[in-house]
Chains A and B, each alone.
Chain A
Amino acid sequence: QQQVKQSPQSLIVQKGGISIINCAYENTAFDYFPWYQQFPGKGPALLIAIRPDVSEKKEGRFTISFNKSAKQFSLHIMDSQPGDSATYFCAATLVSSGSARQLTFGSGTQLTVLP
């Protein structure tokens, strides 16, 4: 029950539009939900994160909406820009028995923002 499901696989948005990426999880023990952004040839970089006791978190143009009862969370990118074109991963994490905070990633969404 470690899986995190992410959709859509790819997304094309016009400049200035809203990009929405959705994720769902099964394991209710997850206690932290970060989103990562990855550009080609680079490692993932933390974008924004949320705890399950919060329903929404906003940082600049990026907002996470969290629905604990539905076990779903989503990333909204407002006023999308061509520079936002990247692969976005949702993730979920918990502290495991060996004290690691393993990240369980979704399969990724390739976002293309057209100029």
Chain B
Amino acid sequence: DTGVSQDPRHKITKRGQNVTFRCDPISEHNRLYWYRQTLGQGPEFLTYFQNEAQLEKSRLLSDRFSAERPKGSFSTLEIQRTEQGDSAMYLCASSLGILLETQYFGPGTRLLVL
């Protein structure tokens, strides 16, 4: 399967703990996006990478959140000192960056903070 993969698929953690999610984009895609989706809502943009450079961050991305994409391949999203409000589905998408790009989404990581 050459689609976008995410790991883990599910994560349950206690408030105050740190969590890290991984996204492996489609191999030739240079653009990578992170979105957050809460129950009953559409995904909301968090951050964007072009190759290894993080070029945009949403106001939703508080200083407890950090994302990296070393070497322009896989990406990680870390949440420090998790709060119950962080409970959501975290989606990764990748694209080729052509004019009207199609973003291909992974299956997401569902986070539950107790």
Contact = CB atoms under 8 A, between A and B. Distances in A.
B28 interface: no
A107 to B, nearest CB: 6
A62 interface: no
Contact of B42 (A43, A101, A106): A106
Interface residues of A, number: 28
Given A43-B4, A102-B56, A103-B45, A49 B91 contact: no
B35 interface: yes
Interface string B14-38: 0000000000000000010101000
Interface stretch (A11-19, A64-72, A73-81, A92-100): A92-100
Nearest to A97: B56
B101 interface: yes
A42 B107 contact: yes
Given A43-B108, A45-B105, A96-B56, A101 B95 contact: yes
B107 A43 contact: yes
Interface residues of B, number: 26
A43 B100 contact: no
A106 B56 CA distance: 21
B100 A49 contact: yes
A104 B45 contact: yes
A25 interface: no
Given A49-B100, A100-B48, A44 B91 contact: yes
A44 B43 contact: yes
Interface string B34-59: 01000011111100101000011000
A41 B37 CA distance: 12
Scoring A41, A43, A45, A103 by chain B CB atoms within 10 A of each residue's CB, the highest score goes to A43
